[in-house]
Amino acid sequence: MKRSFRKGPYINNKKIITKNSLITSLFLNKTVVLYIGNTFEKVLITKEMIGFKFGEFIKTRKSFNYKKKK
């Protein structure tokens, strides 16, 4: 379900921006720091990212590789 139009976009105004905040034109060409749960990730905001949420541009899970037997 979408956020109500009368409320406007959700933007967290704290120093550390959460993944569910909407990217607006205020963030254009700026680097923001996102907290993933155990580490911080830096993300550079470009023109194509406006209108999406921050969580769509970062990985939250590590890639898994099987160990090969010798």
- Domains observed in the chain: 1-60 (3.30.860.10)
Q: What is the pLDDT confidence band of residue 44, given thresholds at 50, 70 and 90? A: very high
Provide mean pLDDT across the span 1-27: 74
Backbone angles phi and psi of 27, in degrees to 5? -95, 0
Phi, psi of 2 (to 5 degrees): -80, 160
Residue 41 backbone phi and psi in degrees, to 5: -120, 135
* 1 pLDDT higher than 60: no
Residue 23 and residue 52 in contact, taking contact as beta carbons nearer than 8 Å:
yes
The model's pTM: 0.68
